[in-house]
Amino acid sequence: METVGDLARTLVLRTHHARLSREMDKLGVEIATGLVRDPARHLQGDVTGLVALDRDLSRLEAFRISTTEAAARSSTMQTTLEEIQSRSELLSQFLLSAELTPTQEMRETFSEEARNAMGQMLNGLNRTIGGRFLFSGTANDTPAVAGLDIMLTDLRTALAGQTTAEDIETALDAWFDTPGGGFETAGYLGATEDASPIRISSGDTVALDIRGDDQVFRDLLKSVAKAALATDATLGLAAPVQTELLSEAGRELLGHQESLVELRAGLGAKEARIEQVIARNAAERTALNLTRLELVGADEFEVAAKYENVRVQLESLYAITARSSQLSLVDFL
């Protein structure tokens, strides 16, 4: 039967074991993280500066997320505009040769190319990132524009009965540019309010407010639609009218390039500002983390020495405990 002395010795050994284990765990965490386990004790209870640093770091983390979002959205927008510009510029060069090869087969080929280009442009304007449509204004859960087939069907109805190039152009102007006209009711599906600006720092916001109903897109789609429907069988236009519409569409698309360049330049300036803010926020975050490390960082050499000392004590305690558990009356006889 154990004596009172044996029980007391066991309790003391267990108490020392628990204390050393806790100390070893604490030092292990400090070695792994490079930070003290108890900042309040380390700072002698004055944690005001640490709280302020953590608040600023939380704010910068929120800005890191918003700037990442803004950079992704602006980059995708820029890529879309580049694709639209490249396709429209290529199509303009193609259409300008309509007068040189005025055969029906070639005219139909030109119109087919225009329809393909129009489909690509509409798909670009309906591009999404993170499940949100980029060119729909505040209605980012809705596509910006209707699909190619829907838009061409509505345009055929609007152009029905027109027989001259001038009549076709007048009808297209009315559909695309008249307030409350076909484009605004059936072509553009997004909101008429710009997307909300994104806050990227304490004093900076960036507005990625390019919408699918901007005039530059209306003008582009109008010219491409003119070429796409020039040879449409339901309109039954005469061959000279078809050629005139195709050539005119090519000249117009060439003239629209300047507006696209200006739109892209404006977006590029915003991209540059976003990158500047990202760099500035990152530098500030690094400085704050260094300051925080100075406040609550653990001295790795000192902590490692303490850890080794506690480990040796714990091993010694294990040895004593094992030795004590093997003692018996026979050993003293």
Query: Rounded to an integer, what distance in angstroms lies between the CA atom of residue 34 and that of residue 32?
Result: 6
CA atoms within 13 A on the CB side of 103: 4
Nearest-angstrom CA–CA distance, 248 and 251: 5
The pLDDT of residue 301 is: 56
Query: What is the spatial distance between Cα 134 and Cα 272, in angstroms, rounded to a whole number?
Result: 19
The tokens for 36 are: 């003290």
Candidate ranges 18-22, 27-31, 88-92, 302-306; pick with highest mean pLDDT: 88-92
CA-CA-CA-CA torsion sign (27, 30, 35, 39): negative
Q: Is 303 helix (H, G, I), strand (E, B) or coil?
A: helix
Whether the predicted pLDDT of 289 surpasses 60: yes
- The string of pLDDT tens digits covering residues 142-188 is 999 999 999 999 999 999 999 999 999 999 999 999 999 999 999 99
DSSP assigned state of 187: I
User: What region, left, alpha or beta, does residue 65 occupy, with left being phi > 0 and alpha being psi -120 to 50 degrees?
Assistant: alpha
Distance CA 148, CA 192 (A): 21
Q: Report yes or no: 96 and 254 within 8 Å, Cβ to Cβ.
A: yes
Q: What is the pTM of this model?
A: 0.78
Amino acid, res. 71:
A
Position 133 pLDDT exceeds 70: yes
Residue in the block written with tokens 């080794």: 308
pLDDT in tens, 215-272: 999 999 999 999 999 999 999 999 999 999 999 999 999 999 999 999 999 999 999 9
Q: Could you give the 3-state DSSP secondary structure of residue 100? A: coil
Q: Is the pLDDT of residue 304 over 70?
A: no
SS3 207: coil
Mean pLDDT across the stretch 206-219? 96
